[in-house]
Chain A
């Protein structure tokens, strides 16, 4: 499997249908883009107003609001306590009916995140629903940092070490972590 080409890690299993529906929905695309923009603007407003601790996100400077950068601070009492992680959000044109593509930009050592930053999280895939939003995704990811789903790991070693060897885990995790700002 060519990871570099595969940019659809979040696509649902019935991806064929997906493609079709995307095709079908291209006709009123302009309308869609407008409503997507509007929705994202509202979400941004909500996010700015709520000021939930440890999470934030903001659109990139490309001007169409379809790409965001998010920041998560590692929750207390976890391996990631005090570390900050950057994420990229890229929203499809039919958002919120399809989930955004979310990737970790900061290198992270985590059972459900692979070395390219792809995330294995059900709500970003088949469990996506239009009621989720950027904030809920960020919160889910934040809690994922503390409670990984070791049953379906993308990083087997991490999943194994998570419970077995906390010291080694922490060492590997810190070795991998790099603050993006300092790069």
Chain B
């Protein structure tokens, strides 16, 4: 015996097995009866040999011999053919095996198996292995075969032109389960039948189940092991994605809509059906639901049912070969996750209608489509597919809760995820949503259900702020656009978050940016004063630049009752409704800012003076125009008073009153001085200057209180004699009416209606005063009709005592009106007749060019331009600079600008560069000197 053992050791060291505890089956050629020595059979070395003491009796030896013989017979019978399972047969659909695989039962083999399984167990010594070992051996056999013949087929090469589904099917889903079936066949046919015969039915079942599950587990382990992991995941994911896209209706939006419509009908039907079902035992409910599902499928677009079947088939097959719960679930989770995002993006992007049905639709989808697919798939992956996993319908039945793999809570979680995805989508669209505001209200409603936690809110703020700075707050966007977006933003966010925290945080960068823009104030004030309506195009040259919305908003706010805008910055200690600021509110957060568009804009700047000043400027411009009444201005003024307070707008009020008073005073003076010679023209409140008309010109004046008006153009020039006479009389009239007051004429302001009686035509124009004066100068009462009157720019400048700029402006204007013609450089003559010849053509061309030029330069308004006013201001700052340098000694440029920023009320509006320029101007004037970068007053 020792000898045998050592021999065996030597033998196995020379011919090592892959697994030393098993052997290959004994070749068929070996005669069954040929072995002479006990335990020497080739196939017998699988167990530990009995010890010396145990094997002392010969009966044990005999048992061994029998056992070995049986083992040999069984294994050679069960051993798998040494060839691949032929797949060609599979393609026919009928699973016919080649003859080598189809084993005919042989009585002696069955006998041997039965012996190994059972009879041996009854043996008294019992030291040898039993039937389990036969199963083990078979599993080993299968493993070897699988690795040798099936595995090479499962390489899942992606390079094939086949679609992923085909690859998956051909290389894995067909061969693997089939191989499994083939392997399992002998096991169940021979071994299990034998077991069933031997044991009582119950015991046999247990035995069989154990053996079968062991077999399956092992086989699945081999399959899993032999898969190329990455390829398998990718291909499965691709397949699932493709089919899932079809099933979940992601493919096209129209599709989804159609189905939405269908669903409504279905649901009604479903409800009726459900009522009926509930009367029955709840257990059959699932049955009913499944039948309904069948109905359901009938209504679905073509392809969906097939896709669903395909997917479920894949799932089932995967589970069959043990890939479902391990790998399939993970891939499924990834795919479903992706599909959810995709569906939401494809279906809901850009759907911003209000009231929003998106959330509801999403929830329905999540439950009916998404949830269903997930459950069905997981059903396939579960170990006992016979027991259906219900979802939701049984949710009310508590005793069943524990059995369910999916509860209502899961569905809730999915819905939440869906809402989260939707929120992210909306946030990525938020800029467009805000820009499209009003028609995009639904999107904000969607977002509302998303921004419920601090995390999502801060995500929204972060994401949107970066979009804003990227898309809006750059020099390419006009101030008007930015304001427009800001207004929409205020409205949208006050719906999204009535507390105003989000708005407060989001609007900070915008506000900061707007503050830096030079024309912000102008745009806002112009917007406030705009005419909501069609008049706008007439009143402003650049209608597109006016935010009419602001005017509308102002009216609206007024109608709403003009809420109290007393933001003193202090807490109202008596406010019993006080609640703490929301947790994510920034510092300096103020609730009142929330929805008040005008208030938000006005509070852009620390002081309201900026607005008041701008308002004054625009008011001044408007009031000096020839407008019979200023209803709109008065109204706006009243509305703004509510916001700015009476005091701030006092100047504006005085201005308005000036103009209105002037009208009255004007009438009185004219009556006193008998100025209204021609009553026909009384209604025209402007100076009539019609040189060749019989009636004398008319003069109306507006009397302004100088102190309250913004800086005005004060250029003077000689007005025509007729006018200056009128002015004198008017002045006298005024001085008698208002004693101790004096009139100072501002000839540059005002409007003139000019009627020019030329040889072949009469030209009537409404023009500026200087333009009238210039054209008047071309009149020469003494000259006869035939002589041509020529004037040069030089002459006009001296004669009228007018700046060259104005003269040129006026000349260009008249050339543009085809009244004057530039005969040679800087010399003009009156175009008494419009020639028809070629010179006329030339004239017209020149006129067109001149007209364009005049248009461009007509920006010369009554009020001083910004730059002029700023230079004026610079004089004020000069005082500061002198004071500073006198007292603080020499200072560098940076120091000066820093001090100015601190000391000048309202801040110092100039840049370092501008200041440097100004200071160097002063150095040139000898008022300052520079030494070592420091500026110093020169004594």
Contacts and interface: CB of A to CB of B under 8 A. Distances in A.
A181 B883 CA distance: 15
Interface in A13-53: 41-42, 44-45, 47-49, 51
Contact of A61 (B882, B899, B905): B899
Binding site secondary structure of chain A = mixed
A12 interface: no
A69 interface: yes
B613 to A, nearest CB: 16
A56 B880 CA distance: 10
B886 A56 contact: yes
A69 B452 CA distance: 57
B886 A58 contact: yes
B888 A58 contact: yes
B902 A71 contact: no
B884 A58 contact: yes
B885 to A, nearest CB: 8
B interface residue count range (under 10 / 10 to 19 / 20 to 34 / 35 or more): 10 to 19
A71 to B, nearest CB: 5
B648 to A, nearest CB: 16
B883 A48 contact: yes
Nearest to B877: A48
Interface in A64-95: 65, 68-71, 86
Contact of B903 (A59, A69, A70): A59
B25 to A, nearest CB: 99
A68 B886 CA distance: 12
Contacts of A61: 888, 895, 898-899
Nearest to A89: B887
B879 interface: yes
Contacts of B880: 44, 48, 58
Given A56-B882, A61-B895, A61-B898, A68 B905 contact: no
Contacts of A44: 880, 883, 903
A57 interface: yes
A166 to B, nearest CB: 27
B883 A57 contact: yes
B905 A45 contact: yes
A61 B901 CA distance: 11
Interface string A155-183: 00000000000000000000000000100
Contact of A48 (B879, B888, B889): B879
A41 B900 CA distance: 11
A57 B888 CA distance: 9
A49 B880 CA distance: 9
Contacts of B902: 59, 63, 65
A49 to B, nearest CB: 7
B876 interface: yes
Contacts of B903: 41, 44, 58-59, 65
Contacts of A68: 887
Given A59-B899, A59-B902, A59-B903, A69 B887 contact: yes
Given A45-B905, A56-B887, A51 B899 contact: no
Contact of A86 (B882, B883, B887, B898): B887
Given A44-B903, A65-B903, A181-B889, A49 B879 contact: yes
B879 A57 contact: no
A146 B879 CA distance: 27
A48 B895 CA distance: 18
A32 B887 CA distance: 26
B895 A71 contact: no
B905 A41 contact: yes
Contact of A47 (B883, B889, B904): B883
B882 A60 contact: no
A63 to B, nearest CB: 6
A41 B903 CA distance: 6
Interface string B864-903: 0000000000001001101110111100000100110011
Contact of A56 (B883, B895, B904, B905): B883
A73 to B, nearest CB: 10
Contacts of A42: 905
Contacts, number: 49
Which of A45, A58, A69, A70 is packed against the most chain B CB atoms within 10 Å?
A58
Given A42-B905, A59-B903, A63-B902, A48 B886 contact: no
Contacts of A60: 888
Nearest to B885: A58
A69 B883 CA distance: 10
Contacts of A71: 886-887
A86 B880 CA distance: 17
Contacts of B895: 61
A181 to B, nearest CB: 6
Contacts of B899: 58-59, 61
A60 to B, nearest CB: 7
A61 B888 CA distance: 8
A58 B905 contact: no
Interface in B890-939: 895, 898-899, 902-905
B918 to A, nearest CB: 16
B898 to A, nearest CB: 7
Interface in B441-488: none
Contacts of B887: 56-58, 68-71, 86
Nearest to B882: A56
A48 B905 CA distance: 12
B312 to A, nearest CB: 73
A68 B903 CA distance: 11
A42 to B, nearest CB: 7
A70 to B, nearest CB: 6
Contacts of A58: 880, 883-884, 886-888, 899, 903
A56 B878 CA distance: 13
Which of A41, A48, A61, A181 is packed against the most chain B CB atoms within 10 Å?
A48
A179 to B, nearest CB: 11
A63 B887 CA distance: 15
A56 B889 CA distance: 12
A39 to B, nearest CB: 11
Which of B883, B884, B888, B898 is packed against the most chain A CB atoms within 10 Å?
B883
A69 B886 CA distance: 9
A59 B876 CA distance: 16
A56 B888 CA distance: 11
Contacts of B888: 58, 60-61, 69
Contacts of A69: 887-888
A71 B882 CA distance: 12
A56 B879 CA distance: 10
Contacts of A47: 883
A83 to B, nearest CB: 13
Contacts of A86: 887
A165 B879 CA distance: 40
A96 B886 CA distance: 25
A104 to B, nearest CB: 14
A16 B899 CA distance: 37
B876 A49 contact: yes
A69 B884 CA distance: 9
A52 B888 CA distance: 18
A86 B886 CA distance: 10
A45 B906 CA distance: 11
7 contacts: A41-B903, A42-B905, A45-B905, A47-B883, A58-B880, A61-B899, A70-B887
Interface of B: 876, 879-880, 882-884, 886-889, 895, 898-899, 902-905
Given A65-B902, A65-B903, A70-B887, 19 more contacts: A41-B903, A42-B905, A47-B883, A49-B879, A51-B879, A56-B886, A57-B887, A58-B884, A58-B903, A59-B899, A59-B902, A60-B888, A61-B898, A61-B899, A63-B902, A71-B886, A71-B887, A86-B887, A181-B889
Top 5 A-B residue pairs of the complex, sorted by shortest distance between their CB atoms: A48-B879, A58-B887, A69-B887, A58-B883, A58-B884
